[in-house]
Amino acid sequence: MIKYNLKCKNNHEFESWFSNSKEYEKLKNKNFIECVVCKSKSISKSIMSPKVLSFQSNDKKKQKELTKVKRDLLKVRKFVEKNFEFVGENFTREIKNIYYDKKKSRNIYGTTTHSEREELKDEGIDTISVPWIEREN
């Protein structure tokens, strides 16, 4: 698996996981990748994260591990969607409101740019990026 930081033509940044770099290129060429904020299909790679899991197609043990990781990440997604409010690209503004006004505490999730994440970190606001695994139908 490999994680890419992606950016659309409107400068929205988001992360996505792919089985390998060739899979990313294949999906991009077919216009299957779109911005999570504005739905633009004009996507480019930003800074790339290192490969976190690699296996040969005949390595059953690692394939099982990968399947378990995907299943666990789908459980995380389901939990977040059920227990958190989606605030989209307003995440940075909303998390600051929550952080500075403790009375409005609530669980939220949404999207940020790399620079927004750095800004939040500089202010002492901890966030976490979760690989958003697509549901299999």
pLDDT digits (tens, 9 = 90+) for 45-69: 875 545 555 555 557 888 888 888 8
Q: 49 with 18: CB under 8 angstroms?
A: no
Q: Where are the alpha helices (DSSP H) in 84-111?
A: 91-100
Instruction: Identify the pLDDT of residue 109.
Output: 92
pLDDT digits (tens, 9 = 90+) for 62-88: 888 888 888 888 899 899 999 999 999
How many whole angstroms separate alpha carbon 132 and alpha carbon 129?
Answer: 9
62: nearest Cα among 53, 70, 71: 53
Average pLDDT over residues 9-13: 88
pLDDT digits (tens, 9 = 90+) for 74-130: 899 899 999 999 999 999 999 999 998 876 788 999 999 888 989 999 999 988 888
Evaluate if residue 131 carries a pLDDT over 90. Answer: no
SS3 content of the chain, % helix, strand, coil (to 5): 40, 20, 40
Q: Where are the alpha helices (DSSP H) in 30-130?
A: 60-83, 91-100, 114-122
Give 77: exposed, middle or buried? Use CB within 10 Å, 0-12, 13-18, 19+: middle
Beta strands in 23-71 (DSSP E): 43-48
